[in-house]
Amino acid sequence: MRGFAHWFDFRAVLLLGLLWTYLFPQESRCATDSLNQQGAPDAGVSWNMRETAPDAAGRLTFYGKPWWPRARDLAEGQSFSLDLNGDGRPDTVIQRLNGDIIEAIDDTGRASNILNQVNTAYLVSYKGSGIVDRMVAYIDNDADGKCDEMEVRYYQDGYLRYGWFGENYDNDGAQIFPLNRWQYSGNGFNGKFRGNVLMYLNKYDPVTKSWVPLAECPFAFFDPNQDGIAEIVVRVSAVPKVAIDGEDLDYANNPDYRWAPKSPRADDIAMANFRLSYRLDSEARHDGPHLTFGFTMVGDLPYQVPQRFYTNPRRRPPQTLVRLPWDSALDTALRYPARETGFTWDELGDQNRWEGQFWIWERRLLENTGEPLHRWNMRREYLPYSSTSRQLYYSGVDRRYHLLGATEGWLEVGQLVDVQKDLEIRFYDSAGTGYFDTWEVFLGHNPVPVRTTRVLDAKVRPVTLDREFLAADYNRRILPLAIVDDEQLITVMKQFVTYPLARQYEEKAAASKSAEAKRYLLDVARELYFLKLRDALYARNSEEFYPRRTEIIHPWNIRDEKLPMRTIFWNSLRSFGHFGTLAHSGYGFLRGYTIGDSLEFQRLATQIHVLVNDYGEGNFPAAAKDLNAMDPRVLRPDTGTMVLRWLAWSAELSLTAGIVVFLIWRVRRSKGVSGL
């Protein structure tokens, strides 16, 4: 009797424990789901789950299927159907396609079209070997006839290694992953990465028979204006903590770790890299997704975020995935404790990457940043300090948004109208205020900056990281004003100088349909014209009598002392009766300068200084006004000056020739005397 009571108490405790586990599942439990200790399905598992379950060793093949001999003999394009649930209706199709054997299972068991990609699971054996290589599954969570989730599982010799998983929050049934031979093609341009979607990679751990977050886990796409194109993208690199500072600088993107038989422990995974990108395009680009700018942050936040476990009973085991939830991904990115931060802006607006704007493996290293990379016409800014928020500011100097706290940055301009670098612009926070105050401009491959500007007032305006505000401010205020100011200043500068390279950028800007590209190309043309004009003005001023000579010559007529030498000389030529004046001015211009020459020099020097200062501070309307105050003929050859220089050169040449002739005569004469 005591034994029966003990047995009854044991059964009661066990029953209560199972009931408690069912009602209150723990997030930290291993997600073995409906698999027993050997990895095989339990007796109560549904027919479709049993059909796709691995054997006791964890290997998934077609070898033990009663239909396998028939499938093996299928010719290309042939197929047959099966009724696996025994309800008298077909629920499975076996076919040979492109040499592969495919088993397609309708999980509902009642679909009129088994291949409808709504609740269909496809098991694929490459070349019909009988070993499962891929599994593609579609899940309709709310039974509305549209797929809500999609997954692609990767097997190696029949053993599960990893999977890509996608969750569609738009309820449109669109294909999440583009496929190429039954696997994720990696080409997001043809996939669902345009609206409200979560996609991520999980690595299978054969020891715990559970999923582990790894690599790109997750990508989160947000479409707040519901135009079908994602405006915000978050990407997380899930990496073992020990690998963050290891030899592999891009662990998250190395496929070798996904295919490895062993998996890192889930508790050892950290969020090592966050990428947060925004789209500011005024109109949706349906030819391809485009993100305007992006933050790239590195750190070591443990992958222990709330609600990271996601269980779906419609999923094949393991049914519990681990990922950063879609509805908390953006907030996590905004508050991520970053050790360093990189900021990227696509200046030309032509890098259509659905993954966001990447950092680059150059100059400043940020681990696990991924690829592909693009070097040209991408503005890079670097913040070397830790931060827990993403902040921008607007600079009135270059009329651009910048990363608050960035200490340095660079922009390489080129590969647009030619196949070389045309400019490089570097910017620095010299005062340590968190704002850029110094700009250096390099022309081509010249290692010495051709323009350096440091401003006392960076004309800073803090801005909120709100996509709707930024898009309106950028497209309706910043770009139109910048284009107008560029065009006006360029028009004035072209009255003084010409520059074929700058003209090419002008023509490319005129042909551009994008306001962002047009502004950038005009910015480059404006800078090139300015450098040409500035150097020409400096050179012109340095060629006059005053900077080239050291002795002042007072004019014969004291009333003319404020006139330049060339004017006095021409006035003298017009009055042949005053030979003294003519003789004096002619004598003076050969060896000195007048007070007027020095006044003229300083006046132009001051005008150049004001122009350079206004331009460097980004006050382009003022720079245009400065130029309008100058006479464009200042850079044209002056007839009077040219005549005087010709006379001076002739006089110097005649004097030199006379001295040489005299010396030769003396030598010959001395030889003649000695011969006597």
Residue 188: per-residue pLDDT: 58
Interior/surface letters 163-176, b for 16+ CB within 10 angstroms, e for the rest: bbbbbbbbeebbeb
Closest by CA position to 154, among listed 240, 260, 67: 260
Q: What is the torsional sign of CA 485, 486, 492, 493?
A: positive
Residue 71: per-residue pLDDT: 98
In a domain, 545, yes or no: yes
C-alpha angle with apex 267: 262 to 268, nearest 5 degrees? 65
* 204 touches 160 (CB < 8 A): yes
- Domain around 633: 541-659
In a domain, 467, yes or no: no
In a domain, 604, yes or no: yes
What is the chain's percent helix, strand, coil content, to nearest 5? 35, 25, 40
Rounded CA-CA distance 209/145 in Å is 31
Residue 287: per-residue pLDDT: 64
pTM: 0.85
Residue 171: per-residue pLDDT: 92
In a domain, 137, yes or no: no
Give the strands of the sheet with 392-395, arranged side by side. Answer: 400-403, 392-395, 460-463
In a domain, 299, yes or no: no
In a domain, 619, yes or no: yes
Pairing type for strands 92-97 and 100-106 reads antiparallel
* 188 touches 370 (CB < 8 A): no
pLDDT < 50 regions, the chain: 1-39, 577-579, 582, 676
Pairing type for strands 408-414 and 134-139 reads unpaired
In a domain, 202, yes or no: no
HEC secondary structure over 309-324: EEECCCCCCCCEEECC
Helix (H) or strand (E) holding 664: helix 639-675
For 236-291, how does the pLDDT look when each residue is reduced to its tens digit (9 = 90+)? 999 999 999 999 999 999 999 999 999 999 999 999 999 999 999 987 666 667 89
Phi, psi of 546 (to 5 degrees): -65, -55
Rounded CA-CA distance 387/274 in Å is 13
* 38 touches 56 (CB < 8 A): yes
In a domain, 104, yes or no: no
Strand ranges inside 347-458, DSSP E: 378-383, 392-395, 400-403, 408-414, 421-428, 438-443, 451-454
190: which DSSP letter?
G
Enumerate the H helices of 311-457 as residue ranges: 326-335
Q: Total domain count for the chain?
A: 1
